Amino acid sequence: MAQAETVRSSLAESLASETAGDSIEYLSRGKLIRRRFWRHRLARLGLPVLVALYLMAIFADFIAPYPAHTRLKGFKDAPPSVIHFGMDGNPFQPYIYARERSFHPKTFREIYTEEEDEKYPIHFFVRGEPYWIMGLFKLDLHLFGVDEDTNITLFGTDSVSRDLFSRTVIAARVSLFVGLGGVAISFVLGCLIGGVSGYFGGIIDEVIQRIIDLLIAIPTLPLFMALSAAIPREWPVAHTYFAITMVLSIVGWTGLARVVRGKLLSLRDLDFVVASRLAGGSDLYIIWRHLLPNFASHLIVTMTLAIPGMILGETALSFIGLGMQEPGISWGVLLEDTKNFGALVHQPWKLIPALFIIVTILMFNFVGDGLRDAADPYSL
């Protein structure tokens, strides 16, 4: 008895002294993955940018000075506002000039000139149009704004005088979350079908794999087009959005199903799984405690790398008019305004939503790359 007591106390002591330091021997696989991930420079850039983008999308109504569909009278096709600093004795106070619209005598294109004697300071945390936060609270606070006599248009305006900055920020909600939603549905489908395929094997596996082959063989864009052409035009925005997400994931699940199946097959016969079975572990216990933790990291990588495809898919559909429809807006919808060539030449600011798409896709790919390198900390 006394001996057991001393064993216990010395054990507790040594454990306390050993776990105190965070030497590499004590890092769990999760911690190793995080370490490796942070060593990937581009991923280290990508993650904060993505977080910022998603925060922007979540708090879009607060960041945007105007609602998405408000027309700013007298500001059709206006270029971005130029921000100046230094006003009322404060060298950091930003302000804009009022702008006067005139028309080119021959082309009748709008020309905007700054009225240097009319300065409007940019105020922060101003009251403006009310909006709902997550459908719960009504709020009318906006990040910034100017007095009502003029308008601030950071990214310029579109052909019907709507503020492109507000619209870009608000459209991010659809564009960014369509990827997450699509991947979430793909994830469920992929895990389920891939799991069944890998677990049961035999003829079920064979049939499922051939169906996946078939789905992959169909060119993506025509399939997207065919499916989304079937979405009724009179559906409300929320329904359309959900339908588009479904369309995207119908193609997206195949890759995930393959990953799940492959991982199940390769892990199923590993010695530590056999050992667990020999110790008396049931199938469900083994899948839950051994298999899932070991391929979760690979799943996350595949999912991260699947999101850009979904975002691009939605953008392409919306751009050709088969995806989101006004009044629902996404970055693809905003880009519809650039369809005519004149817009690109004379109003290049209308391409700003495309920049957001490019940055988002790049960052997702960086993060995905970083995750892929980090997913298996033992492979070198």
Partner 1 sequence: MTAPPILKVEGLKKYFPVEKGFLRRVVGQVKAVDGVSLEIGAGETLGLVGESGSGKTTVGRCILRALDPTEGSIQFQIDDDVSVDMARINRRELRALRRYANMIFQDPYYSLDPRWTVLDIVGEPLKLAKLADGAELEERVARLMEVVGLEAKHLRRYPHAFSGGQRQRIGVARALATNPRLIIADEPVSALDVSTQAQILNLLSDLQGEFGLAYLFIAHDLSVVEHISDRVAVMYVGKLVEIAPKDQLFFFPKHPYTEALLSAVPTPDPDVEKKRIILPGEIANPADPPAGCYFHPRCQYAQARCREEEPALREVSPGQWASCHFADELALVGAPR
Task: Report how far residue 127's alpha carbon sits from residue 147's, in angstroms, rounded to the nearest whole number.
Answer: 11
Residues 87, 93 contacting (CB under 8 angstroms): yes
At 305, give phi and psi (nearest 5°).
-75, -10
Minimum Å distance from CB 33 to partner 1?
Answer: 11
Minimum Å distance from CB 298 to partner 1?
Answer: 13
Any contact of residue 84 with partner 1 (CB under 8 A)? no
Any contact of residue 71 with partner 1 (CB under 8 A)? no
Among 290, 313, 360, 375, binds partner 1 (CB under 8 A): 290
Question: Is it true that the peptide bond before 327 is cis, omega within 30 degrees of 0?
Answer: yes
Any contact of residue 147 with partner 1 (CB under 8 A)? no
Counting residues that bind partner 1 (by CB under 8 A) gives 37
Any contact of residue 246 with partner 1 (CB under 8 A)? no
Minimum Å distance from CB 258 to partner 1?
Answer: 19
Residue (238 or 284) nearer to partner 1, CB = 284
Compute CA distances 97 → 63, 85, 100, 116, 134, whole Å: 21, 11, 10, 6, 35
DSSP H helical ranges for the chain: 2-20, 29-39, 41-58, 60-63, 164-200, 202-217, 220-229, 237-268, 271-278, 283-286, 292-319, 331-335, 341-346, 352-375
Tell me, letter by letter, the H, E, C secondary structure of 101-165. Answer: EEECCCCCCEEEEEEEEEEEECEEEEEEEEEEECCCEEEEEEEEECCCCCCCCCCCECCCCEEHH
Minimum Å distance from CB 275 to partner 1?
Answer: 6
Task: Report how far residue 250's alpha carbon sits from residue 243's, in angstroms, rounded to the nearest whole number.
Answer: 11
Any contact of residue 340 with partner 1 (CB under 8 A)? no
Minimum Å distance from CB 90 to partner 1?
Answer: 57
Residues 260, 198 contacting (CB under 8 angstroms): yes
Which is nearest to 175 in space by CA: 361, 371, 363, 362?
A: 361
Among 276, 343, 359, 373, binds partner 1 (CB under 8 A): 276
Any contact of residue 272 with partner 1 (CB under 8 A)? yes
Among 83, 226, 229, 274, binds partner 1 (CB under 8 A): 274
Any contact of residue 206 with partner 1 (CB under 8 A)? yes
Footprint of partner 1 on residues 5-44 (CB under 8 A)? 7-8, 11, 14-15, 17-19, 24-29, 32
Residue (185 or 212) nearer to partner 1, CB = 212
Who contacts 75 (Cβ-Cβ below 8 Å, separation ≥6)? Answer: 99, 101, 151, 153, 157, 161
Minimum Å distance from CB 40 to partner 1?
Answer: 20
Minimum Å distance from CB 253 to partner 1?
Answer: 23
Tell me which stretch binds partner 1 (CB under 8 A): 174-182, 282-290, 325-333, 345-353. 282-290
Q: What is the CA radius of gyration of the chain?
A: 27
Any contact of residue 270 with partner 1 (CB under 8 A)? yes
Q: Taking each helix axis as running N to C, give the angle between helix 220-229 and helix 292-319, from 0 to 180 degrees, rounded to the nearest 10.
A: 70
Kindly write out the interface string for residues 104-143 of this chain, putting x where it contacts partner 1 by CB under 8 A and - elsewhere: ----------------------------------------
Any contact of residue 4 with partner 1 (CB under 8 A)? yes
Binding site for partner 1 (CB under 8 A): 4, 7-8, 11, 14-15, 17-19, 24-29, 32, 202-203, 206, 270-272, 274-282, 285, 290, 293-294, 377-378
